[in-house]
Structure 1
Amino acid sequence: MKKKYFLSMMLSFLVALGFITPISASSKEVKTDITQFRILNWTKKEASAVYETNIFYLSMDWDASAHGANLHEGDYFDITLPDQMIFPTDSSHTDFHLYANDGKTIIGNAHVTPYTSGGGKVRVTFTDYVNDRYNVKGNIYLAAHFDTKEIKVGEENTFEITVNGKVSSKTIKITGPTELKNEVLCKWGSKDMDPTRANWSMRINHCKRTLDDATLTDTLGDSGEAYIKDSFKLYEVEFNAKGGIVSRKTVTTENKLSFSEDCSSFTLHLGKMEGTSYYLTYKSTYTPSTLLQNKATLKSEKDIWVHKAGYRSSDAGGNGDGDLTNKIKIIKVDANNGETRLKDATFVIKNVKTGKTYELTTDEDGEAISQKLVSGEYTIEETKAPTGYIKNDKVLTVNLNDGSAVIKTITNEAIKTSVKVTKKWNGEKKDSVTVNLLADGEKVKSVTLNEENKWTYTFDDIPEYKNGKKIEYTVEEEPVEGYTTEISGDQEEGYVITNTENFENGNENGPKAETGNNTGEGTTANETNKKAKHGKVSQSVAETGDHTEILFIEMLFIVSAGVLLFIYRKTKN
């Protein structure tokens, strides 16, 4: 009984395990070609020669398109690496991703197996990105250095890689140390055990010149990195003809070495050098995989020498891409700027024969991709435009064939608006003024207002939205000397900019009051006074004239009354 119960439980467990364990097609090695094999220098530029001890990169363009649309997750290809090269063994170099063109989606994972005797193997394993895609291809690059026992310095050397039994080769010259001639300053960077630091070395006065009041400076510029103060070591040395150190003794840097406040530069005072040679080593902070450059300068009383150097830590990486099969991809862009991708546009895709429909919405990258579809004729219709855009009413008809994809770029016109601005003057008009249109506080357009355009202008054909949000448009006037500026109105009704002349300008009649239309053809205060004398304006208008005489009479009356009151009281007493 117990035995039957146990067997029953085991059977149930195995059945359950079958449900939860995914069953996938077995992975396989796929045919892949290397279409280009290059060797790059430490700055990742193609090299025709490499120094024997330098780090460099293998760059390989791979192409798996011969496999058609039958690639699947788990499929892989292997690359056999040259035996004359040594490959890093740390995890950042042995395991890394290959990314699609968006820089985010992983198309494959690479694993490097370095051999202790030199050479090695790379296996690239595809992710589910390749499912239902064809024309899959990309690039992979690896850092390496030479096995100096296996190369010929000063000669052309040929290196080979192998994929699917097919060999690709590259020939470059390997250089080595040569006798130095008249070298005063040389500098180079190298790897530190700590990946967040860089080592620097400097050879000073190899040619044994006499230098008066020698000063060495070095700077990291605006890289954001800093020198590490306690890492500096100075040696007085004897160099051989090729720059190798024959002997050395430590020299103190106390009272000789100083740093800038942020430690991005230093100064080393070497004083008088009568044929003395030095070797200087130090460290700086470093951001992995970046190119860090700096500049050393050696000055004496009569001469100056400059040497630039750089350092980049070795790395590995790759990329790839492929076209979709049996899918429809929509790319939504701004009609006036094809670089601007638009999200949240909604489409309905319809199979003409069956009537079956599918709804798609564009993502942050302005793209929408259908599920795998049966071949046939389809229509694509936009049902909702992105915020701030006019819906594209054109219905597209496309034919989808087995083993291929349909990619359509569909544009939208932005919703446009306008902003009107009018100029008014209280005082003597200037010849012209400049008015700026601001979109959310940023200047986007300018216009010159003058008599020719009747002191008014409308900014037309400007977008109403940006990134799905309504733009706030305002205006500003570039300063007009001797005037105070006041801006009224709003974006919908238009803005009015009124300039009032300041009293200190010396206009004894004060500012001219504009009462006419916005062309500037108003009636001045002086003209109003003249009309008032002939009874041609109302009392309310006449009161806007000059009050100087009235004010003087009132003041004279008050003073006279005070004098009379004073005399009256004296007389009474």
Structure 2
Amino acid sequence: MKRKRKLLAILMSLAMAWQGVSFANADELASPASASTVTSSTETGSQGSPSEEDIRAEQAKQEAARQAAASAINATTGKAINVNANAVYVNKDNTAAYNNEEIDNYAQFGVSVDFTVPEGQTPKAGDSTTFQLSDSLKIQKSDSFQIKDGDQVVANAVIDAANRTVTLTYTNYVEQRSDIKGKFWLSLQVNSDKETEAKQLSNSIKVNNTSDLAIAGTINYTGITKDKDFDLVKDSWTNFVEETDAAGNKVYLIRYRVLVNVGARTNITLKDTLGEGAFSYYSSDEHPVSIRKGVWQRGQYVNGNWVADEVNGKNFDIRNSQKTGPATQNTALEAQYKAAVGKKTFTLNLGNTAADEGFEIVYYAKVDGKPVTNFNYHNEVELDSDGAGGKPLKKEYNVNVQSAGGEASGDTFKIKLKKVNEDQKALAGAVFAVSNSDGAEVGRLTTDANGEAILSGLLRGDYTVKEVQAPEGYLLSDDSYSVKADMFDVAKVATLTVVNNKAEAKRNLYVTKKWVDAGDKAQSRPKQVTVELLRNGEVIGVTQELSQANAWKTSFSNLPKYDENSKAYSYTIREKAVEGYAPAISGTQELGFTLTNTVSNKISIPVTKVWSGKGDHPSSVTVRLLADGKEIAKQDLFANNNWQYTFTNLERSKNGKEIQYTVTEDAVAGYTTKISGDASTGYTNIITNTKNSQNPNDPGNKGGGNGGSATPSRSNNRGGNNKSNTPGSVLDASREPGNSQDKAQGKNGSVLNASRNKKADGSVLDASRSTSTGDNSRALQYLALFATTGVGLLAWVLAEKKRKKAEK
């Protein structure tokens, strides 16, 4: 029994220790603070860290989006342009709105479409928009027309009657205008093959085979109507027939038809006359005259076969006397017509007719040239006969050309110019010539009392602006100014500000001489030195003497600032050689020059600060002098030392090797730094700081406290509430979040890098200690707790055993 108790106590201790370890591991694997639902130290709520699969999927998605965007950019020609549009029914010639009059299967009506091209579509020449009619509507014939803005073609339109489409193909007009607005109209009929019954017919137009555009209103359609009884009919096809004649010319034909059903008559004559206009009778093998005499019968064609229906038949057809087939042609009467070809009138002697007999006469008239739109091609026919009961009949018919058409407009652009002098004062009377990308002058600008001028009516494109006359007292600028198409703002205005320089503008240039020769202990300093003036790098024969008498200071006065082309002169100085001394020059023509002479066994390094760009700049900067890459001195530059300094009395060599000096500048936020001049150029060391763009999205904006670098320093990423790893964010390939403080804490859902085994201080853990959270403190606590409990229990068992033994 005692052995059993002892063994049981040991087993219990081991079990409790193992349970402690299990609890600790369970905490690591299923704690509420695990990687899937971490509560951040900087914000509350859960955050999800993406898996490797999530990351790859997101990267693939982004790459697909990038490629799609690139494809869209590259697809600059031949693309479908979606438009905003509305459509309404109109009368057949688009002169008035349709007013719900009855429309039968022969009648024509129109549809008018207004459309605008949204700015985001950015159409190019060759792009197109297709409008497709529903199959309830019919276009009489294929055709083409132009949509124009005045004399400029905006789009070429092609009508495909078989497919019921109108396709607009844009010209380069749309590249030069914005807010394109257009309109076109078509003459249509109801498609009686599709629609046979009377109804209020609603229709739509499909745009680019995607969006449906409803046509406002409905058509009051009568269905297929029954032909009325008649005595004399004169009509025509509503569309011209095209043919190529023997000479290869395209001719336009009007197809006329005359139907005679006057009952029993004798000695019938029919006279046909064409009205004003350049057209005459015509006949050819393809379009001959056809004159048939027969018996009129009601019925209709079904699948190409005539089916008689004397009571309810909707149509008439002229049949042979037995009504077993169509009437045959009368060649004698056709010969009478052919004799009139080329004329404007003919007369047919039709002879006699019985009560049920009649005639069908089909012939053509040729229009000289292309048919004139909205001109009435008038034709009339008169029928007479013998006998008291045969009263004369007269019918008229006008053919009015109703071709499709269109019109459009687009916005134009403006160039606005502002002319000022160096002090930003407005200047009147400056004249500028504006030329397009082909070099052709498109207009001139003359500035008013406010220094402003505007040139309107321009197409979108690239322009060059050049001054041709300067304001009085100012120099004519030789510069040309470019206006690019992308410079026009949302108001379609591109603005230029041009500065003119005064013809007599002068400047003064100051020079100060300094000596670095231990106070002239060697007494080798000359009594005076000569300084030469250089203009645009060339000696112009102007010198000044510096000596003790003028305290080693002088100036070059009343120097012209600009040349005859208004270009600013660049002035510099140089010293005529002084034996035993080496010169170093700092400064600019604006700041003045400091000429430092150093004894020849030593060297001086000048530094000059230049600010470029408008606006305020820092009140000081720090420059550092490095010898063979090691800093040996530094200096602040500011207004009081005229933004220039010379590091003096420097050694030329060390251990027999020439020392290489360099100058650096501490980073200046918001500026890009450029340093010119090194050992090979004489250590001029001009440090130019150029102000960066204020637009944070501008690629040129390289500001920040990192010396203009485009990549921010990690040392700047240690702020308090940095939330670089936000919910749903995708980490880079290493899966290492950007916030170093978050990594140290191992919180807010951050995912460690691929090794996943870093301590808070960045050192690498042993592989056996790798965790999901990077925090083992609680596991060790639980293990220690349960181990202590087990040891205590074992100690109690042993003490109890010893006590009982002592009692015995």
TM-score (structure 1 length as normaliser):
0.47
TM-score (structure 2 length as normaliser):
0.35
**Structure richer in strand, relative to its length:** 1
Greater RCO (Cα-Cα under 8 Å, separation 6 or more): 2
Which one has the largest radius of gyration?
2
